């Protein structure tokens, strides 16, 4: 099963209209032998070799503890390499995550093919009035199709001009400057798990641009199998956990009675939370938990 999934991910998974993402490699490479990347994180955290005699449930608890208390160094011990094909405007957002290593196709050396990103009609939307970097509000079908026609025409024209300039023996490094940011590019990306989670947290957020989010969701699916305990903890403590200021938290505590706080701890216990986490929750609420 492990080998079958790895082989599937090592084939290009389509994203957007002409893009893809392909899982290339990971370190350590014991996944096909029945391990997960969680095992590497646990070994690093314990500074020992092998899994020893500890149970999987203890491994899960340790990973949740590390994530909850921001002891993040062990998550840097797992690394991944991906091959990505995406529009240039997506790549520029991607490469703002400078903690990874990138190697991108060079248009100084290579002639770029005529491949441009064109949005689906239902994704052609108006400028959001609330979010200056987002879209909101649909066009009528006829308007959307007119916009897409204009965009395709412009892209075809710029690519024709690109080849016209190359035909005049203009250098590739200058001819490429006429191409739009919708042009597809490719790159290899190597990144550790901690910084990959930071990428996912930002780029799959509801306010992220949908084009880069599409790649993030594919990566999320891969990691959910390769590092299930880590992704469970990431979901619980990063994605779904509220972020409160000290003032917000004090307002919560001043509103809730002591009996209600105790009831909250009891409810949390019933949710199969670990004893350590229950104790920490009780401490946050100012309740003595024996």
Q: What is the mean pLDDT of residues 32-47?
A: 83
Q: For the segment 227-241, what is each residue's pLDDT rounded down to a tens digit?
A: 999 999 999 999 999
Q: Where are the alpha helices (DSSP H) in 52-179?
A: 56-68, 88-94, 141-167, 172-175
Altogether, the residues listed in the chain come to a count of 290
Name the nearest CA neighbour of 16 among 123, 106, 114, 153: 123
Q: CA–CA separation, 94 vs 75, rounded Å? A: 20
Residue 115 neighbours by CB under 8 Å, 6+ apart: 18, 183, 184
CA angle 204, 210, 214 (to 5 degrees): 65
Backbone region of residue 277 per phi and psi (left: phi > 0; alpha: psi in -120 to 50; beta: other values):
alpha
Please give the pLDDT value at position 47.
79
The arithmetic mean of pLDDT across residues 259-270, rounded, is 89
Q: Is the pLDDT reported for residue 48 higher than 80? A: no
- 148-176 pLDDT tens trace: 999 999 999 999 999 999 999 999 999 99
Q: What are phi and psi of 188, to 5 degrees?
A: -100, 140
Residue 174 makes CB contacts below 8 A (sequence gap 6+) with 165
At residue 53, the pLDDT reads 44
Q: Which residues are catalytic?
A: 203
Question: pLDDT band for position 54 (50/70/90)?
Answer: low
pLDDT of amino acid 258: 87
Q: How many CB atoms lie within 10 A of CB 182?
A: 20
């Amino acid at each position: 099963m492990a080998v079958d999934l790895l082989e599937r991910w090592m084939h290009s998974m389509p994203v957007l209209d002409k893009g893809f993402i392909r899982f290339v490699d990971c370190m350590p490479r014991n996944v096909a032998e029945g391990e997960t990347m969680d095992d590497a994180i646990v070994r690093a955290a314990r500074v020992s070799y092998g899994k020893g005699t500890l149970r999987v449930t203890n491994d899960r608890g340790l990973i949740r503890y590390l994530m909850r208390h921001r002891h993040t160094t062990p998550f840097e011990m797992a690394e991944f390499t991906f091959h990505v094909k995406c529009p240039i405007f997506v790549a520029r957002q991607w490469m703002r995550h400078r903690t990874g290593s990138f190697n991108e196709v060079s248009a100084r050396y290579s002639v770029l093919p005529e491949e441009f990103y064109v949005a689906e009609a239902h994704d052609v939307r108006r400028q959001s009035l609330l979010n200056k970097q987002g879209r909101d509000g649909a066009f009528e079908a006829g308007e959307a199709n007119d916009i897409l026609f204009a965009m395709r025409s412009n892209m075809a024209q710029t690519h024709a001009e690109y080849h016209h300039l190359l035909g005049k023996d203009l250098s590739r490094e200058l001819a490429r400057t006429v191409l739009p940011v919708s042009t597809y590019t490719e790159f290899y990306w190597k990144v550790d798990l901690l910084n990959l989670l930071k990428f996912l947290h930002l780029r799959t957020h509801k306010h992220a641009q949908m084009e880069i989010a599409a790649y993030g969701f594919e990566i999320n699916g891969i990691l959910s199998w390769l590092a299930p305990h880590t992704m469970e903890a990431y979901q619980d403590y990063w994605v779904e956990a509220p972020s409160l200021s000290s003032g917000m938290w004090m307002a919560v505590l001043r509103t809730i009675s002591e009996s209600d706080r105790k009831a909250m701890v009891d409810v949390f216990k019933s949710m199969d939370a670990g004893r350590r986490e229950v104790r920490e929750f009780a401490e946050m609420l100012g309740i003595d938990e024996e």
